[in-house]
Amino acid sequence: MDPELLLIILVDGLVYGSYLFMVAVGLTVICGVQKLLNVTHGALYAFGAYLAATLLILYFRLDWPQFGAFAVMLLSALFLGVVFGLIIERGLLRHLYHEDEHIIVLATFAAFLVLEDVLLLIWGTDPYLAPEPLGLLGATEIAGLPFDNYSLSMVLLSAVVAAVLWYGLNRTQFGKLLLAVIYDRELAQAMGINVNRIFLLTFMLGSFLGALGGAYQAPAISVQPGIGVEVIVLAFAVVVIGGMGSIPGALIGSVIVGVARAFAVHQEPALELFVIYMIMAAVLIVRPQGLFAPAKPRTI
């Protein structure tokens, strides 16, 4: 194959993969610690995109330094993560931890439906556009095609998020507590770890990451109804491919999905979705625990 096309596919794939990683990483953190698949994550992504788009439109009307736009995105994600994390975890999930895992997924699906309509009530059905931050960073030419630096910066952001999470999990006290809860919740509780607090903080962290994914993506897309529905199932695919609860898994999974999708888009566009879910099914068939799930002793 033409090496220039290959380069373009790789760059495209990395950009799309980092977009997927930003959404999937929050999902996988929640999944790893609380052992639940959280459908509301899609709504958090959508809320992040909407809030950031709205605030960015307002921000650029002021005559403040333009690079403050990035702070706007970060703060809106932080706000959403804390508020929604608190509402969903305390208000809903707290009462359901003893239930069957399927029931919890379904409860988050119900909450997702509710949040989708709340979104429509607040922002209506019109698309929101806030492309100004794209212009701030300019563009780079790769293999004769212009790529805007904003999209490329998403790869950087993903790398930073992955590094910070890795450091936080493996080198800080909170990370050690988290690992203890991941390995054995009851034993951790018996040792005096406040598992309820850990759950709440984890859920807030995960929700923040989901909202950040949406907020950072907002300038690059047209923010409109339905983006949450679309993204959550993709994030599910990535989390399953990488292994539920594994951060390196989510990283590799999103790169695999991103590059495979880029191949499909450039070679045979009709196969775009087919390829993604084919990989998901293949991974579930060959290695259902995911490519990077930690080894576990057999219980039987």
Residues that bind other proteins (CB under 8 A): 37, 92, 95-96, 99, 101-103, 105-107, 109-118, 120-121, 229, 233, 236-237, 240, 244, 269-278, 280-281, 284-285, 288, 300
Overall size of the chain counted in residues: 300
CB of 23 to other proteins, least distance (A): 15
Residue 215 near residue 48 (C-beta atoms within 8 A): yes
Least distance from C-beta 108 to other proteins, angstroms?
Answer: 10
Least distance in angstroms from the C-beta of 271 to other proteins? 7
3-state secondary structure of 213: helix
Is 23 within 8 Å of 234 (Cβ atoms)?
Answer: yes
Nearer to other proteins, 62 or 270 (CB): 270
User: Which residue, 85 or 228, is less far from other proteins as judged by CB?
Assistant: 228
Q: For residue 140, what are the β-bridge partners? A: 147
Q: Which is nearer to other proteins, 107 or 177 (CB)?
A: 107
Residue with Cβ nearer other proteins (145 or 229): 229
- Per-residue exposure over 213-249, b if at least 16 CB sit within 10 Å of its own CB, e if not: bbbbbbbbbebbbebbeebbebbbbbbbbbbbbbbeb
Q: How many CA atoms lie within 13 A of 262 on its CB side?
A: 22
In contact, 136 and 66? CB cutoff 8 Å: yes
Quote the least distance from Cβ 210 to other proteins, whole Å.
17
Q: How far is the CB of 51 from other proteins (least distance, A)?
A: 19
